[in-house]
Amino acid sequence: METLGIDIGGSGIKGAPVDLTVGELTTTRKRITTPQPSTPEAVIGVVGELIGHHEWDGPVGITVPSVVIDGVVRSAANIDDAWIDFDAQTAFEHSLDLPVAVINDADAAGLAETRYGAAKGHRGVCLLLTFGTGIGSALLNDEVLSPNSELGHLKFRGMEAEQYAAARLVERDNMNIDWWASRVNEFLQHLDLVLTPQTIVFGGGISKRFDDFSHLFDTRAEIVPAALRNNAGIVGAAMAAAERTIA
């Protein structure tokens, strides 16, 4: 089964059709810079461009970097505050005239890594973290998702954790990667203490450099790089769309 997944991030919006039998993109993903301001209307316009680019006419899964409950966005992390209390699912379906499923971006990545990637087969508590513009989180127990965990917004070192350890500090602010990784390790140790995960899956675009800094991590939990890397959100979005269509 092939379904389109679109992943909305703070810096870019990317999408591609996904073969859900294997969890792989069937074409090269298309990326468009996130508009500023990233209002719902502006973002919906970009999503429409991606659908046109892929000549898609079927179910669409869409991630947002926000708490999502019954298709309604309840927070705004790294997108415009106009998203708060916005019925995204209804708005996307009305604008695109297609069946749509809307899901938190890190939750989508967690679902994808559980079915196809680094979290597959892991029992007990498994925590996926996506490091990018912010820090997204997916909390799973015996491969079952507890949605909207939002651990990147925990208060840590006098600020939100993602202000202290998001990958943007390396990718945009030119922080030394070892210094950044030492900050990440502090946050991982805190989560290890509080949640006692058996496995932490390290995701986001910077995970492609995992071998460069993983030696600086020191936690009781096993830390592994995400297998789907920066495509996990797209794959998980497609999964959400397919499951909603079947339901």
Express each pLDDT in 178-201 by its tens digit: 999 999 999 999 999 999 999 999
109 inside domain: no
Check whether residue 6 and residue 47 sit in a common domain.
yes
Query: In the numeric block, which tokens belong to residue 161?
Result: 């954790």
6 inside domain: yes
pLDDT at 247 over 80: no
Selection from 197, 234, 226 nearest residue 20 by Cα = 234
Predicted confidence band of residue 77 (pLDDT cuts 50, 70, 90): confident
- ∠ CA 166-172-178, nearest 5°, is 60
Ramachandran region of residue 25, left (φ > 0), alpha (ψ -120 to 50) or beta? beta
78-117 pLDDT, tens digit per residue, is 899 999 999 999 999 999 999 999 999 999 999 999 999 9
Check whether residue 98 and residue 127 sit in a common domain.
no
Residues 6+ apart with CB under 8 A from 38: 10, 79, 80
DSSP string, 90-115: HHHHHHH-S-EEEEEHHHHHHHHHHH
Check whether residue 74 and residue 125 sit in a common domain.
no
Write down the pTM of the prediction: 0.94
Check whether residue 93 and residue 125 sit in a common domain.
no
Check whether residue 93 and residue 10 sit in a common domain.
yes
> Cα(208)–Cα(211) distance, rounded to whole angstroms?
8
Structural domains of the chain, count: 2
pLDDT for 198 equals 97
Query: In the numeric block, which tokens belong to residue 174?
Result: 């030119």
233 inside domain: no
Radius of gyration (C-alpha) of the chain in whole angstroms: 17
Q: What does the mean pLDDT of the chain come to? A: 96
pLDDT at 246 over 70: no
22-59 pLDDT, tens digit per residue, is 999 999 999 999 999 999 999 999 999 999 999 999 99
Check whether residue 90 and residue 151 sit in a common domain.
no
pLDDT at 162 over 90: yes
- With beta carbons less than 8 A apart as the criterion, state whether 56 and 17 touch: yes
DSSP summary character for residue 85: T
Check whether residue 163 and residue 186 sit in a common domain.
yes
> Cα(179)–Cα(162) distance, rounded to whole angstroms?
15
The range of the structural domain enclosing residue 176 comes to: 118-226
CATH number of domain containing 146? 3.30.420.40
Q: In which element (H, E) is residue 179 found? A: helix 177-195
pLDDT for 179 equals 97
Check whether residue 207 and residue 128 sit in a common domain.
yes
